[in-house]
Amino acid sequence: MSQVLTVSCKLKASQSQAAKLDATMEAFGQALNWVNQNTPEKIVNAVKLQSLCYYEIRARFGLSSNLAQQVCRRVAGARKVARQRNRPVKEFKRRFVTYDARIFSFRQKDWTVSLTTVEGRERFELAIGNYQRGMLAGSNPKSATLVQRKDGSYYIQICVEKKPPKQQDTDKVLGVDFGRTDIAHTSEGDNWNGQQLNKVRDHYSRLRAVLQRKASKGTRSSRRRCRELLQRLSGKERRFQTWVNHRISKAIVSRAKATNSAIALEDLTGIRERVNQQPRSKAERRRANSWAFYQLRQFLEYKARVAGVSLILVPPAYTSQTCHKCLHIHPDPAQSYRSGKSFKCGHCGWEGDADLNGANVIALLGAVVNQPRGSGLFCSLVEQNRLRATESPLRTA
């Protein structure tokens, strides 16, 4: 099974070529918004959209046949995503153009790409480094997206299909426990503390609250300025989260590959909805909901696949309450051996970091899934009771 990776490459564009790219992105963006506003919102099929407005797109905006088809596909795709989130597609704001193999091509011998514009076909040289060259070497990409960044530079995001390496066979498993106190904690003791991250996130929250108050008061120009600052702030916090998640996922995958280990994670699907049902303060709810744990899991999944590292998902039930030494859980369901960041087992006496304990339990569960040879997981008291039962003369057949 192939894996699709995106390689972002800067374009070297002359002044005349830049004018053609600007005109193409402007026409493409106007066409997107026109189709979205002038066709029924319930239509999410690209072929139906194309039958309704293909000729109108070409006549109004001067786009080529294939670019007009890309407009319909992009609107249809955006509507499908919006339908899943129960909200309409209001407007396409970002300047971009999507390409397929008929209107885009890559040539390795001179590291150039050919793109269709509103004024014909143009060839652009790529300003790239060794990483991009290594990713593109020997590939035959079929699709790409042209974007313009805030500094005015043009980038082509090329989609490359790569066959990932065979996943390594191993009995070793690296458990990873996600949380808010520690964003991630591994069974080997590596951790990424969330206290400093919480300070940054709390700063953004306070600044957002101030700007939101000012955005509802004052003059028209001050309200507009506050709304612009809020939008910039949102992007800055999102980029900060992405940067941190990339660092954490890269370090975890690198460690797993170096130690020839698989990675085990908790399957936290739906955890936000379940946790939000519990009574919590507004600040705690914001902190728990604002960090992109799903993004961190996605980064781990694709980086592990590229590195040939197996990734295992285990059920999260009782992972934080079980002692990894003796696999004992507190007999009273209303109580737990865990208290904040500390864990002290009342059965075997092990005492230490609660997140380290949870990561080790996740590693044990991952080992069972990775190399199934019977459960291997049992509480010693339960095992003793089982042995007594088998030795009893009153045992029934």
User: How, if at all, do strands 173-178 and 262-266 pair?
Assistant: parallel
CB atoms within 10 A of CB 10: 17
Coil, strand, or helix at residue 143?
strand
pLDDT of residue 327: 87
pLDDT of residue 6: 92
pLDDT of residue 193: 81
Euclidean distance between CA atoms 62 and 182, whole angstroms: 54
Alpha carbon of 108 to those of 102, 122, 173: distances in Å?
A: 18, 16, 40
Euclidean distance between CA atoms 57 and 39, whole angstroms: 12
Contact assessment for residue 331 and residue 346, using Cβ atoms and an 8 Å cutoff = no
Euclidean distance between CA atoms 90 and 37, whole angstroms: 8
In the chain, where the domains are located: 3-162, 173-193+249-380
Q: What is the pLDDT along the chain (397 residues), one digit of tens a residue?
A: 678 889 999 999 999 999 999 999 999 999 999 999 999 989 999 999 999 999 999 999 999 999 999 999 999 999 999 988 888 888 898 889 999 999 999 999 999 999 999 999 999 999 999 999 999 999 999 999 999 998 899 999 999 988 888 887 888 999 999 887 788 999 999 988 877 777 777 788 788 888 888 887 777 888 888 888 887 777 777 888 889 899 999 999 999 999 999 999 988 775 555 554 555 565 555 555 556 788 889 999 989 998 899 999 988 888 888 898 888 888 888 888 888 889 999 888 899 999 999 999 999 988 887 765 554 555 543 444 444 444 434 333 3
pTM strictly above 0.95: no
Contact assessment for residue 328 and residue 381, using Cβ atoms and an 8 Å cutoff = yes
* Alpha-helical regions (H) of 216-270: 220-258
Domain 173-193+249-380 has CATH 3.30.420: yes
pLDDT of residue 113: 96
Contact assessment for residue 338 and residue 318, using Cβ atoms and an 8 Å cutoff = no
List, as one string, the DSSP characters of 70-136.
HHHHHHHHHHHHHHHTT-------S-EEEE-TTTEEEETTTTEEEEEETTEEEEEEEE--HHHHHHH
Token pair belonging to 75: 């609107």
pLDDT of residue 389: 42
Count the helices and strands in the chain (H runs, E runs). Answer: 11, 15
Euclidean distance between CA atoms 309 and 167, whole angstroms: 5
Contact assessment for residue 180 and residue 353, using Cβ atoms and an 8 Å cutoff = no
pLDDT of residue 320: 86
Which residues are CB-contacts of 20 (< 8 A; sequence separation ≥ 6)? Answer: 117, 118, 119, 122
